Amino acid sequence: MFYIIVFILGSIWGSFANVCIHRLPIGESIVVKRSYCPDCKSKINWFNNIPLISFLLLGGKCQSCKSGIDKRYFIVELTSVISFLSIYHFFGLSITSILLAMLSIFFIIIFFIDLKHYIIPNALTFPLMIIGFVKSFDPNLNINLFPNYLNSLIGGILGYLVIWLIILFYKKIKNKEGMGLGDAKLLSAIGFWFGWVSIPFIIFLSSVIALIIVTPSLINKSKEMSSQIPFGPYLVIGCVLYLLLFKEILKFIII
C-alpha cells in the first residue's frame, strides 16, 4: 500500500518537475498558469495530464494539435517515481526519506535544465544550500549520511571554492570562462547537504563520468576541447553515485 502511495507521490512531483524544467529558464511562473502544449499553446485538460499514464494513452502526442510531446516529460516522471520508490525502499517512512525525496526533485530539475540550457538557476541552488545547512542542526537525522552543522558549513564553502578556483585557474591560462558559477553553487549545495568529506569523491566521480561520456565526441570530432559542456548533470550523477556507494566509501574513510 505504501509503495503505491509513494509511486503516486513520485509521479505527481515528477510532473511538477517538468513544469519547472520548462518554465524556469524562460521566466514563467510555475504555479499560476495551467499546463499547456508548448506548440499550440492550448491548455491541457486534467484527464490528459495524468503523470505517465496520459503520455502513453495519447501516444506521446498533443490531443489538440497532434504534435509530438517531448519524451523528456515521460523520462522525468519515470525518474522521479524510481527515485521516490528507491528512497522509500532503503529508508522507509522517515525524515531522511523526505529530505532525499526533496533533493531528488531538485536534482532532476537541475539535471535537465542544465543539459538543455547550460544554466543552473539560483532559484534552485540557493534553497538547496539553505535546506542543506538548516537540516544539519537536527541531531536526530542519520549522522552517517548527513553531517553536523560545522561539517556542513565547511562542505558548503569547500564545494564553492573548488569550482571557483578551477574557473579562476582556467581563466588565467585560457583567458576565458571554463565553467559557470552555477556549478560552484551546486557543488556548494551538495557540500552543505553531505559535508566536506563528500566533495573529493563527488568531484572525482563526476569528472570520470564526464570524461567517459565526452571522450567519444572528442574522438569523432563532433565536439572540440573548447566546446561548451554542462557539468551540472555530471555533478548530480556523481552525488547519486556517492550516495549509492556511501557505505563502501564510509569503510574506506574509517580504514
Domain range summary for the chain, segments of one domain joined by +: 1-93, 121-255
Q: Which residues of 128-162 are buried (b: 16+ CB within 10 A; e: fewer)?
A: bbebbbebbeeeebeeebbbeeebbbbbbebbbbb
Q: What is the CA radius of gyration of the chain?
A: 19
Q: Which residue has the cell 565526441?
A: 217
SS3 68: strand
**Residues 236, 49: Cα–Cα separation, whole Å:** 28
Residue with cell 522521479: 80
Per-residue pLDDT of the chain (255 residues; tens, 9 = 90+): 799 999 999 999 999 999 999 999 988 888 767 777 777 777 877 777 888 998 888 888 888 787 888 899 999 999 999 999 999 999 999 999 999 999 999 999 999 999 999 999 999 999 999 999 999 999 888 888 899 999 999 999 999 999 999 888 878 887 766 677 899 999 999 999 999 999 999 999 999 999 898 888 767 766 665 567 889 999 999 999 999 987 777 666 655
Report which secondary-structure segment, H or E, holds 152. helix 149-174
